[in-house]
Amino acid sequence: MRNSNQNSTSKRYQGYTQQYIGGQWRDGQSKDSRIIDTNPYDGKELVVIRGASVADVNDAYTSALAAQPAWEATSPRERAAIMRRAADILLARRDEIIDLTIQETGGIRKFAEIIWYFAWSITDASASYPALVKGGILQSDVPNQESMYYRKALGVVTVISPWNSPINLTQRSLAPALALGNTVVLKPASDTPITGGLIHAKVFAEAGLPPDVLNVVVGSSSEIGDAVIKHPVSNLVSFTGSTSVGRSLLGKVGESPMLKRLALELGGNAPFVVLDDADLDAAVQALVVGRFLHQGQICMSANRAIVVASVHDAFVDKLVERIKSLPSGDPQHADTVIGPLINNAQVKSVLAKIEKAKSEGLHMILGGDVFGAMANIIPPHVFVDVASHHALAREESFGPVLPILKARDEAHALELANDTEFGLSSAVFTKDLERGRRFILQVKAGMGHVNDIPIADSEYAPFGGERNSGIGRFNSDWIVDEYTRTHWITTQRTRAELPF
């Protein structure tokens, strides 16, 4: 039997217990699936949602398809106005959304504030995207022919959003897609159905988005995942998540009756390089934030530290001292830095990586036992003398675990940085800014930062990875290209001269 506090918590979120399909809130039709949304820190139940069925998914796509022509025909000014109103609503509900994020993701308050800001900023920026859609007149060698190209909305877009940073990573795909005249079917992760999906439906409905333009289906991937991915109505699938799942999407999309585009933001193994002339105190602070923010459950997180030998020992001493001071526990507390992992499966995955590192003989200089009400707070673990071939240096841990690799010199550091299948983000620390820029340009990644953390995003900059870290780019002109299609048109003003 639930205690009174648990009942009180549940009542706060009763507005998020249904699917949003065809402009209506309705119960899912799954016979077996119930999505139980719980607080990762204390296990308290937030909401229970009856899952969507394949029939619900079909209804969502039918609604989106029917609404798309009229939505694309809506004036750019009106679509921009809806984006601005949605941004204003996010601003007005800042505290509510931050609290929801803490409750649903287990993220610390500072993390929740950061990702709320990114969700708001991309929504605000999306108001300018309709004006970025441009066509043009082309030269033609054909006599009396006018050649032009237009850019149009893709049509119906599928967004599959992750649990680790749901409010902003959902909005990063959703707001631009809507602003550019697409309709959307959104499937949030089952761990975060509110901040990854249902709250977006409420915000955009309040902002005046027409019914049917956005549909949100909450359900188990085993029941509706393939139906969402393969649906013939969808023209693009935007997925943020693991590389393994992203790879599976490539095959599943190929099985769809209609070929479609894929936008994939996948895993990372970001190198954090400390060169011999680095400001060690600044590098330590940046690495602590870049690795342990949100318990390391960020794709851009500093997954490996690579430190040049001449400063290695001094850097490690400073780093360990700083990590030991990090408060852990309840993410609601303002000073907490290390909170819980999202669920028990993630805890098991991280612990398995730690045990494997120990079995390989890696030297652990900082660690500790799992604790917390749900036994899902893992204290920071640090390993030194890690080689590039070790699993800890090659795999994305997605947890508060840091391997440190020792580089002989700058050239070796670059070699180690590029010794990975991933290529999302990267960072280097040096007092010589030109040296840092030269170094980071040689790292095989979509993004690089000199004297800063690898966790960075901007509505004005291209966000995305190389290699097994993804396909495509987000933000500004780059997302306009992703979410629109080019249509070439010619007009023959006189009778054409044809070969026969």
Cβ pair 207, 134 in contact under 8 A = no
**Token pair of 354 as six digits:** 């730690």
Residue 96 appears among annotated catalytic residues: no
Amino acid symbol at 251: G
d(CA 168, CA 76): 23
- Per CATH, the homologous superfamily of domain 270-450 is Aldehyde Dehydrogenase; Chain A, domain 2 (3.40.309.10)
Tokens 């992750």 correspond to: 162
Strands ordered across the beta sheet of 156-160: 24-26, 19-21, 214-216, 183-187, 156-160, 236-240, 261-265, 470-471
Q: For 402-470, where are the alpha helices, taking DSSP H only?
A: 410-417, 433-441
Rg (CA), the chain: 24
Q: Which contacts (CB < 8 Å, 24+ apart) does range 175-178 have?
A: 175/83, 175/86, 175/122, 175/123, 175/126, 176/122, 176/126, 176/129, 176/474, 176/479, 176/480, 176/483, 177/238, 177/483, 178/79, 178/82, 178/83, 178/126, 178/204, 178/209, 178/213, 178/214
Per the DSSP assignment, residues forming a β-bridge with 474 are: 463
Which residues of the chain, if any, have pLDDT below 50? 1-9
363-366 and 261-265: which strand pairing? Answer: unpaired
CATH architecture of 7-265+460-486: 3-Layer(aba) Sandwich (3.40)
Beta strands in 398-459 (DSSP E): 401-407, 427-429, 449-450
302-308 and 270-274: which strand pairing? Answer: parallel
* Catalytic entry in 104, 223, 265, 459: 265
Q: What pLDDT was estimated at residue 10?
A: 55
Comparing CA positions, the residue from 60, 471, 463 lying closest to residue 253 is 471
Phi, psi of 151 (to 5 degrees): -115, 130
261-265 and 302-308: which strand pairing? Answer: unpaired
Comparing CA positions, the residue from 159, 104, 165, 105 lying closest to residue 455 is 165
Instruction: Say which residues have a Cβ less than 8 Å from residue 444's Cβ, sequence separation at least 6.
Output: 418, 423, 466, 467
d(CA 293, CA 25): 35
**How far out from the chain centre does Cα 373 lie?**
28
Comparing CA positions, the residue from 468, 485, 488 lying closest to residue 424 is 468
d(CA 81, CA 87): 10
Amino acid symbol at 482: E
Number of alpha carbons in the 13 Å side-chain half-sphere of residue 481: 9
Instruction: Say which residues have a Cβ less than 8 Å from residue 335's Cβ, sequence separation at least 6.
Output: 327
* Catalytic entry in 104, 223, 299, 410: 299
Phi, psi of 185 (to 5 degrees): -110, 120
C-alpha pair distances (Å), 126 with each of 83, 168, 200, 377: 6, 13, 15, 37
Q: What pLDDT was estimated at residue 5?
A: 42
d(CA 222, CA 254): 19
Would you call 387 exposed, middle or buried from its count of C-beta atoms within 10 A (0-12, 13-18, 19+)? middle
Q: How many residues does the chain have?
A: 500
Can you give the residue ranges of every domain in the chain?
A: 7-265+460-486, 270-450
Helix or strand holding residue 111 (H, E): helix 109-126
Tokens 């909170």 correspond to: 339
Residue 265 appears among annotated catalytic residues: yes
Phi, psi of 499 (to 5 degrees): -70, -25
Q: What pLDDT was estimated at residue 2?
A: 35
Instruction: Say which residues have a Cβ less than 8 Å from residue 311's Cβ, sequence separation at least 6.
Output: 274, 276, 278, 280
d(CA 412, CA 418): 10
Helix or strand holding residue 313 (H, E): helix 309-324
Cβ pair 287, 307 in contact under 8 A = no
Instruction: Say which residues have a Cβ less than 8 Å from residue 317's Cβ, sequence separation at least 6.
Output: none
